[in-house]
Amino acid sequence: MSKTIIISNRLPLQLKIENHKIEATPSVGGLATGMKSVHRDGNGVWIGWTGLTEEEIPADLVDDVVEATIQEQCVPVSLNQDDIDGFYYGFSNRTIWPLFHYFIEYAEFEKESWQSYKRVNEKYAEVVLDNIEEGDTVWVHDYQLMLLPALIKKERPDVQIGFFLHIPFPSYEVFRILPWREEILKGLLGSDLIGFHTYDYQRHFLSSVSRILRHEVSFNEITLKDRMITVNSFPMGIDYKKFADAAEKHDTAKNQSELQRRLDLHIDSTPDAKMILSIDRLDYSKGIANRIRAYEYFLEKYPQFKEKVRLVMLAVPSRSNVPQYQLLKKEVDELVGRINGKFASVSWTPIWYFYRSMPFENLIDLYTTCEVALLTPIRDGMNLVAKEYIATRTNKTGVLILSEMAGAAQEMSEAVIINPNNFEEIADALKLAIEMPEDEQIKRNKFLQKRLKRYNVEKWAEDFMNALYETTHKSDIVEAV
Ligand code: ADP
Ligand code: G6P
């Protein structure tokens, strides 16, 4: 039976060694959480990295690593510490991530890390080629593996290859800064279908292809000598049912978590208080420092809300070997400390800050309890947290404040949309959200929920796979002509 091979840098499970035993935890991030629901229901395999380097795995645990991944229909790609330093912390997260999120001054252009990126993409290609069987379809994900489509196509021109980018594709003027821009584009053009979250990212990509590689681009097709490539936008959805069901269950659950008990205690002690939630990986693209400063400005501009609001901020540790992430951690720690010191009273702390990963149940505690969600990325390919928040509001109350720089804002116009650099606007949006009448909240959320329910992650994957299937027919037609 033919299968779909999913490939991403990280597998949906991350392995750790505890007391000389392999332990698995779910990966954090939009790609893993979204694709997991697609993978769960299919008969495919998922190829990627386990989170452990070759050096970290003792010889007697190598089989256990393979065993733990096979159980989840996954195949591990073996990476060593040099690969992680050059490919992951280097080119992927010090070059591509900042450049594609318009943090140009953070982008480093090191030849060694580029070489490592090429080498690791080749390692992935080897594992993929070992696992491809006749009739299989390949779906490559994200910015860490942009050379992979061409590496596979070269060896297996018969295989249909899809590529989806989970982060923004920057405008041509930014992309052209990259010294290896041609190689990256050529790598991507090994695909038959290339997908982006929004039409703008698609447009930027097509413009780069036509200006840098001079290929013929018409509407959403690129014509090469021997084949055509389709480019389209597929805004990624969430596993709506999973979040809505968990929220329903949460409301009737008898056994509360410790976190929920603490949240309830706070509500009981200040019945008219409102909780404002933010959840992100600790990443400079998420606008976390901006958000805290804007919250400070809000408390100054509208002092009537002191003692009445609380910002509950969950930041998940991420890429902590990259200097910019270390600096951000320091900045956020200082900001939270300063603002809590400045405004706190004996009975009130303005910010509750959690720097850790949390189990799914606790995410649901936070989503369902906080009346406002404040998501202020400076740039974000999509932002699934925004969608998850809305899906858990089963009684349809709650207000989402969302940055216009997140891909999700394009589908969520009923949210309160803000510019993350405009503190005045954020402060006013917070006031508006806190005071918004319930019927207005319900009206907005009804529209949002309807859309998210319909265009869920399954539909997204189905649309992508159907479009990929269509490309086969287009290629057949080109050949016949
Ligand atoms: P990104 O992909 O940049 O991390 P998204 O908002 O698109 O941002 O996706 C984040 C994903 O990670 C969401 O699906 C969210 O539920 C998940 N997530 C965020 N925080 C945690 C956490 N503490 N524990 C587990 N999953 C988390
Ligand atoms: C974003 C990226 C993913 C990445 C995730 C977590 O969602 O699009 O490719 O896996 O962040 O980042 P990490 O560096 O921990 O894999």
User: From the CA of 386, how far away is ligand 1's center (Å)?
Assistant: 10
Q: Which of 186, 148, 202, 105 is nearest to 6 (CA)?
A: 148
Mean pLDDT over residues 19-26, rounded?
93
pLDDT tens for residues 230-242?
999 999 999 999 9
Q: Kindly give, in sequence order, each residue whose CB lies less than 8 Å from that of residue 236, ignoring residues fewer than 6 positions away.
A: 30, 34, 166, 197, 382, 384, 457, 460
Task: Report the percentage of the chain scoring pLDDT > 70.
Answer: 98
Residue type, 464: F
pLDDT tens for residues 202-253?
999 999 999 999 999 999 999 999 999 999 999 999 999 999 999 999 878 7
Instruction: Indicate the helix (H) or strand (E) that contains 164.
Output: strand 160-164
Residue 375, strand partner residues: 402
ipTM rounded to 2 decimals: 0.98
Per-residue burial over 161-171, b if 16 or more Cβ lie within 10 Å, else e, is bbbbbbbbbbe
pTM of the model: 0.96
pLDDT for position 473: 57
Q: State if residue 192 touches ligand 1 by the CB under 6 angstroms criterion.
A: no
pLDDT for position 474: 60
- Token pair listed for 369: 């309890």
Give the C-alpha separation, 87 to 116, whole Å: 5
Residue 481 has pLDDT above 50, yes or no: no
Per-residue burial over 99-138, b if 16 or more Cβ lie within 10 Å, else e, is bbbbeeebbeeeeebbebbbebbebbbebbeeebeeebbb
Residue 296 has pLDDT above 90, yes or no: yes
Which of 85, 166, 169, 282 gets mutated to test ligand 2 (max ligand atoms within 8 A of its CB)?
166
Nearest atom (ligand 1) to Cα of 314: 23
Smallest CA separation from ligand 2 atom 6, residue: 29
Residue 223 vs residues 20, 219, 226, 398: alpha-carbon distances, Å: 53, 11, 8, 47
Give the C-alpha separation, 121 to 147, whole Å: 6
* Ligand with smallest separation from the Cα of 93: 2
Helix (H, G, I), strand (E, B) or coil at 45: strand
Residue 19 has pLDDT above 60, yes or no: yes
User: From the CA of 385, how far away is ligand 1's center (Å)?
Assistant: 6
Q: Sorting pLDDT into bands at 50, 70 and 90, what band is 154?
A: very high
pLDDT for position 480: 46
pLDDT for position 339: 98
Mean pLDDT over residues 404-411, rounded?
98
